[in-house]
Each structure stands twice: as structure tokens, then as C-alpha cells.
Structure 1
């Protein structure tokens, strides 16, 4: 195993679209949504272990989740748990991880992965990531992983592939954020576009150089900490400076601007598991296409629903079709699957009426 390879698991999201199960104090990445006995975070950790020494796994999260990280990933070294004092999107998160890793190992290459995606086909995943590591270790490249689209999805970003440069690796032509349905159909029919999986591979030094070139407002803050990263003073420096970082995604900050961006076509199964509908699609179903997690279910004339409840609770349903029923103890959500995009607004309304009580 290459000792210069690192993994950064981004673990700071709130997952509000999975409310009421995903809460401020325990977001979706810490939950065993699939009934495997491992949370989405733990599955992300397990998946990378064949490729990266466990002492080289770095987790970036919000400081309020420190105890959850230590509980779920006890083998992660304490100095590799980076606790953000504020949420500032993926560019500051990745910048901190890169500066941290570069201080520990100037020769480091790194994969950056979200903690809450569903990936199937672990052997294929490992082959893909291994190929990606080899590519960036031999080229000053920023590599992102792309997934062949299977439907005109409006909830994902898209990557247009350019000239091939290696096995399953192409230059990137363009990035497009979430398109409307008509444009998504054009992308699918063209065969030139991949879904943007939000998984990146590069050398730490290369992404730092790119950040300095394209997002200097961010790196000027981190460069003030030269000599502090990788030391006992790193945490205090971050506490004093991180909230001043401009909130920006790595796509906007770097990937859409740089000229050394490449995409590897990934063959493994992937879903960002961002909605109840996505969880429904990726869960086993009964003869009436109902999904039941954590519950016993007796259903009459009920089809294509997802029921999620605490263990030991029996659900009896009659006449429900295409509904989300999520019982989180102090909150019961009942919502048509077709209307789940309203859940974020529901969360906002609940906050206005009840403050933080049910969030």
C-alpha cells in the first residue's frame, strides 16, 4: 500500500432533505439508513481501507460532531479529525485538508469523498480509485469522477467529456450545474456527459497551487498559518481564521476555472442518496413495492411507499400510494413522494414556529 496516499472524508453536512431522521445533532451520514449495521460514514471509511493506510484517513466535519466521529470511527487518529468551527462549503473544507496533509507529507496524493453517498461494487470502486491515483501521481492534474447517466436527472451536476488521455480518463470540456429536464434529456441523449459524483483525486500540492491561482481570497488566510499545519497550533489557528473564509464550493472555486481538469468515467454503482426518493429507489421492496425500514408492516391497498420508523414499531397502512412516512419519535412526517422537494421548506417553517426544538 502506497504510504503517500491519503483519503479525506467530508462529513459536515446537515442532510435536511432527510428530516426528521437527519437532525442537526445527528445528520444522515451518521445513520444506518440501509440496515447494514454501518452508517453511511462508516461505509465510506470501510470502502477506502484497501487503498489507503488507516493512519492516512482524514475526516473533516463540524466541531459539534466530534464525539460522533470518535464513536463511529475510533481508528482515525485524533490529529486527523479536522473540526470546522463554521460551515463554509467544500472549498474551505478541502483547502484545510490539503494544507494539513501537505504539511504531514509533501509528496501526498489524496482522494476527497463525501461521507453520505451510496456506492456499490467495492472491487470496481477500488480499481477506479487506484487508476485515478496513478494518473494524478504522474500528472499535475485535478481529477474528478463521473458516472454514466441512466436517466435525465435534474438533481445532479453534469460533466462534458473531452479528448481521451488514458483508460477511462478524459479532459473535461465543461461543467453544468443542475439542468432543467429538457437540457438533462439533451445531455443524456448526446452521450457526452457524465454525472458529477463530487469525488476528487489529486496531489495535495497541485490542489493548493490551483486554489492559490483561482481562489486567492481563501488561500491568503491559510497561507498565514505556514508552519502551523500539522502541529499542535493548527487547531487554534483554524479557530481564529476559518470563519473568515469565503463560503464557496470547490467546483465554483477551482474546477470550473482550471485548465488541468480531467474526469474518470467510473463504473461502480453510485447514488448521492440525497432524498427519501433516492433511499426508496435503493432499498429492497415487498410485493407491492413498499419499503419498510425499522418497522413491521401490514399494508392494505398500499403501494410504492417508504415507511421508516424506530425498531419495534408496527405500521398498519390502508390506501396509501407513493408516500413517505417517517416516524422519528418526536416528529412524524407524512408526505407524497412527488412533493418531497418541499421538505426543506417544511424544516424552515418548523424552525420559525418551534425554534430549534424539532431540528
Structure 2
């Protein structure tokens, strides 16, 4: 089996502003480990099962330089630059074209660049199992996270039966539920969080594109014929073809429709670190229940805050709870944890 890894790293990390910027988004930040960025942690996680020459990164021109500097162990040609953002169906399709040219019989593992996984040995074990299922059964396989709470911020996968480590068909994909529905999902024991990790043979995915996203398939065929030009993100023909992609996710476009989608239930300490409140599950807390990183923080009659001080100033809180406070050289963010998902609205105002 030619196992390859494709790490999607084109996101802007808007919900981590002001730490995250367009040039240095969340995946390039040393957010959890003082020595390694999130994307470096992702690459290190798969190196025990996939050599560096078979690990590829999908990104954009703005972030490509920073990624190359962060991942010197990867061949520079393994950084695949998309000329335009057209959502994950186009990104994975384009990645499959480039990787398939070098490894035509590859089984591809698609990962996000900014997830945290505690039990990395168990993670590698599940990836290898998923790859075997993808090869032997012609399936597109995903990893489903055993829910630890009724989370309303994740999509869910419904199964008929759900046992950790045992591959099972996906009955249906469900969008982010309200709290009542999320509670019923968790209580049933048959629902899993959708991790956004996918494992498939490239030939299987090509067939899926032809069946469920034929316009994508036709464009990808034309891109494949561009030769070296498809690796030049400023090439006019490549940009013209990319402009014709419909913006659609791989979930909506293929995974929910494919006749043989399977999931492996897993429990290896997964966190997608989607917004600042997720750090409550990552760091040890003060006696007041707060996450404090960076500058000296003084808490008086305050509790359950997230305080990240990057400017060196003393930060003092008095009589406040459930806040996110982020102090950088250029910006200061103060918001409630409940509003942290909406930080991109601030950027919309700043960019007017």
C-alpha cells in the first residue's frame, strides 16, 4: 500500500484573531506546544507511519512560505498551492490530481492542520485500520469521535451500531444540532462527531467525483492535462479552471451521497481547537478555573476566564467571569466565551 497524507492548511483561523493573521494563521501558531506549531505537530504525528516524502500540504500562496519554513523536513514540491479557495471538494480533488500523478495507486489520508490528538499511537493505529478498509472494501472511510458531551458545534455521523475501533457503515450525516437533539444523539450511543478526516484510494475518490460531482471531475481532468502549469498558482489557465469550481465541501458533495461511506469510531483525545473556549480542555487551570498563558495575570473575584498575554504587560481581572482576553503587540480582544465563535464579525468591521 502506498499510503500518502494530505494535510489541508489553507484556513485563515479567523476565530483566533488577534493571535491568528492571514500570513500566520492558527495552524502556524505555537498555540499548545511552546516548541511546535499545530501543523508541525500534525506532521510529526503521522511520521511514524508515513515517510516525509509522502506527506503533502494543501495551502495558498499567502501561507506557503511560512509553511515551508515550519516544515523543512518535507520536500518543497510537496507543498501544493491552490490558486483560489473553492472549499474542500476542490481542494481534495486538486490534491488528488497532484499526488496521483506521482503515486497513482495511493491511498490518501486527508487531515486538518490544526487538530490536537492526545493519544497519537492510537491515532496511527486507527489510520492504518482505515487505510486497510479503504483498500479492501473500496470505501471512503472517516474517523468518528465518540462524543464526551452533547456538543452543538459539531456535525454528527449516525450509525446502526457503534464500537470503538470497529468499522461500520455511515447511515446518515447530520448537521450541527440544537442542544436537545445533541443530548438525544449522545444518549443513543449510535452517533459520533464528524472529525473531518477522510481515508480513501485515489481511484475510489476519482469515481466518486465522476458520479456525484461530474463538473468537478471534468475540471480536474483538464487540470491534470496542464502538466507543470498546474503547480504554478499564477498560471492563467489554471486560475480560469479553478474559477469554475462550485464552492462545496467534500461532505456535502460526496461523503453524504457515496454508496460506501464507512466510519471507525475512535476515542484518542481529539480536539479541533475551533475557537478560544476549546483551550479550556487543553491547558491546566488556575485555582479560579481560568486558563492563563503568557504575561503575568492577577485575578481578583474573577473566574473561568481565558487570558492570553503576548505583549508582556500585566493583565488584571476584577469581578469578571467567562471572558476571553487576548493581548498582543498590535491588538486587544475582550469578549465573552459565548461570543467567541463570532470573532470574525470583528474582522468584517475592521476590513470595511
Band the TM-score falls in, shorter-chain normalisation: over 0.9
Q: Tell me the equivalent position of 2:217.
A: 219
Equivalent pair of 1:32/1:39 in contact (CA under 8 Å): yes
Q: Distance in 1 between matches of 2:27 and 2:84?
A: 18
1:255 aligns with 2:255: yes
- The DSSP-based 3-state class of the residue aligned with 1:36 is coil
Instruction: Trace 1:1-359 onto structure 2 (pairs within 5 A).
Output: 4-162=2-160, 168-228=166-226, 231=228, 234-235=231-232, 236=235, 238-310=238-310, 312-352=312-352
Q: Alpha carbons of 1:22 and 1:166: their partners in 2 closer, same or farther (altered >3 Å)?
A: closer
- The DSSP-based 3-state class of the residue aligned with 1:106 is coil
Q: Distance in 1 between matches of 2:145 and 2:161?
A: 17
Q: Which runs of 5+ in 2 are unaligned?
A: none
Coordinate RMSD, CA, aligned: 1.8
- The DSSP-based 3-state class of the residue aligned with 2:35 is coil
Q: Which runs of 5+ in 1 are unaligned?
A: 353-359
Equivalent pair of 1:99/1:208 in contact (CA under 8 Å): no
Q: Distance in 1 between matches of 2:131 and 2:178?
A: 34
Q: Distance in 2 between matches of 1:108 and 1:288?
A: 50
1:339 CA displacement = 2.4
The total of aligned residue pairs comes to 349
- The DSSP-based 3-state class of the residue aligned with 1:168 is coil
Q: Deviations over 1:9-59 (max 9, x none)?
A: 000011111111111221111111114311111111110101111100010
Q: Deviations over 1:261-320 (max 9, x none)?
A: 000111211111111111223211111111111222222222111111216332222222
Moved more, 327-336 or 162-171: 162-171
**Structure 1-normalised TM-score?**
0.92
Q: Tell me the equivalent position of 1:357.
A: none
